[in-house]
Structure formats: C-alpha cells, structure tokens
C-alpha cells in the first residue's frame, strides 16, 4: 500500500518504512546531500538534506515518511542554510578545485554549483593535513576530507575491514587509518573495496587514473548533480 506526503507542494508516494529522501529519490526529486548513499545506512551527518517538516527542521535521509506530512526543501531559507554549510566545508579544508583530479566529478563541488554558491567569504583555515601515498594502488589526500564518514561505514559494514575511523572531537575531528603505523599500506585495503568507491570528494583516489576524462566530459560538466542519480564514485 502506498501513502503520500507533499514535498514543495508536489505529491510524493512512499511505501511503509521509506525515508523522505528515499521516497523523493524514487519520485525523481533531488534533495541535496553529501553523506547519504542509497546502499549504505543513512546517518544524518552532513545536514545538507535538512528539510522542514510541518515547520520543523530535520534530516530527510533519516526521517521516515508519514502520510500527510508537509515537507519543504527547495526554499530560499533552507538553501541559504545549505550554502552556509557548504561554505564552512570549503574553508575548513583545503579545497583547491583546479588542482584536484576529482574536479568535475566531485559531489561537494557539484552540490555547491547546484546551490549557486559563488565563493567563500569566510577566512580560510588552511589546515596542515598530510597525504598518504604508501599504498601501491590508492592514495589519500586528507586536505579534502569533509568527514562524511562514508568510507568508515563502507569499510566496516560492507568490506568487513574497518580500515578507516574518525578521531578527535569538534573542529579537531579527522579521518584516520586504522593501522599501527597509521599508513594505508599497513592495512588490508584493496582498490576493489567498497570503501575505495564511496568518497564524495577527492580523498580516496586510485593511483594511475587521474585526469583521464577531459574537461567538458566529466560527470557534472554534462549534467547538474540534481539530474545525476547517486552512483558510487567508480562509475561517476
């Protein structure tokens, strides 16, 4: 049996147990998000998918749909909050798109484009973060990490390897590699692991594959993120 709620005035049907995000995605309506992937358990971390339900704000990736809900998403008020979140992500890391091999396939960048984010105006942190190139097939550029924790989840829940973890609190939170040396080479991570496919930005990168797709033919060159279904990074 299918029930309905309204999303920005549009009637959306859902089945029992579906979240607002799932029902909206099935109906072809895009809600901006960074830490949500359909095949992993939603955890409501990034807050980009925040919507207003009957006047109260909540993460649409974790909220179950209920009949008769009135949901607002694509409003100036909510989009301006989303731009503020994106803004903070950009200044807290070192996001230099022109030098990044994921540029054009990056969800952070594409989401910022979707929201019409022109440029950061806050002071940049310019944090000092390291790069780990120890693994033969994968390298890690922590400069671009947005702490979505999708790799942590994929490695733990899908690969059964527990390669990644988040360490520290608040602004000191960071992505770490779970090996004695802290190096990726000293884990059993393989390039075929789910954890190597889920990074929405340019942290987990496959060696010897950079800049293969010319500018103009990358995923979000062709279509805005709102028109590209969620796919693992490998297929993007």
Please give the residue ranges that form the binding site for other proteins (CB under 8 A). 90, 94-100, 103-104, 109, 112-113, 116, 118-121, 123-124, 126, 128, 215, 221, 223-224
94 close to 126: Cβ distance less than 8 angstroms: yes
The minimum distance between CB 193 and other proteins, in angstroms, equals 28
Choose between 48 and 69: whose C-beta lies nearer to other proteins: 48
CB atoms within 10 A of CB 188: 10
Residues 70 and 182 sit within 8 Å (Cβ to Cβ): no
Under 8 Å between Cβ of 41 and 32 = no
Query: In terms of CB distance, is 11 or 121 closer to other proteins?
Result: 121
Q: Where are the beta strands (DSSP E) in 162-228?
A: 164-167, 174-177, 204-206
**Ramachandran bin of 117, using left for φ above 0, alpha for ψ from -120 to 50, beta for the remaining angles:** beta
Least separation in angstroms between residue 145's CB and other proteins is 16
Other beta carbons less than 10 A from residue 76's beta carbon: 7
Name the β-bridge partners of 72: 52
215-224: string of b/e by CB count within 10 Å (b at 16+)?
eeebbbeeee
What is the smallest separation between the CB atom of 96 and other proteins, expressed in angstroms? Answer: 6
| Residue 41 or 223 having the CB closest to other proteins | 223
Nearest-approach distance from CB 144 to other proteins, in angstroms: 13
CB of 209 to other proteins, least distance (A): 18
Q: Given the complex with other proteins, which of 122 and 192 has the nearer CB atom? A: 122
Select 66 or 96, whichever has its Cβ closest to other proteins. 96
């Amino acid at each position: 049996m299918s029930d309905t709620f309204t999303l920005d005035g549009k009637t959306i049907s859902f089945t029992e147990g579906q979240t607002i995000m799932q029902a909206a995605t099935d109906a072809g309506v895009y809600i901006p998000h960074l830490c949500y992937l359909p095949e992993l358990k939603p955890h409501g971390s990034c807050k980009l998918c925040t919507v207003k339900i009957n006047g109260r704000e909540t993460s649409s990736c974790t909220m179950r749909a209920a009949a008769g809900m009135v949901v607002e998403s694509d409003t100036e008020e909510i989009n301006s909050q989303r731009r503020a979140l994106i803004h903070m992500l950009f200044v807290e890391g070192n996001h230099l798109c022109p030098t990044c091999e994921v540029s054009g396939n990056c969800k952070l960048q594409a989401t910022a484009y979707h929201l019409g984010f022109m440029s950061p105006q806050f002071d940049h942190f310019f944090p000092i973060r390291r790069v780990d190139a120890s693994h033969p097939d994968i390298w890690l550029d922590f400069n671009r990490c947005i702490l979505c924790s999708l790799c942590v989840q994929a490695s733990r829940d899908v690969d059964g390897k527990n390669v990644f973890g988040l360490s520290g609190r608040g602004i000191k939170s960071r992505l770490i590699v779970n090996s004695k040396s802290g190096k990726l080479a000293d884990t059993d991570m393989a390039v075929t692991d789910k954890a190597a496919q889920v990074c929405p930005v340019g942290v987990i990168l496959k060696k010897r594959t950079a800049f293969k797709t010319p500018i103009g033919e990358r995923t979000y060159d062709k279509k805005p993120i709102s028109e590209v279904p969620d796919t693992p990074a490998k297929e993007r």
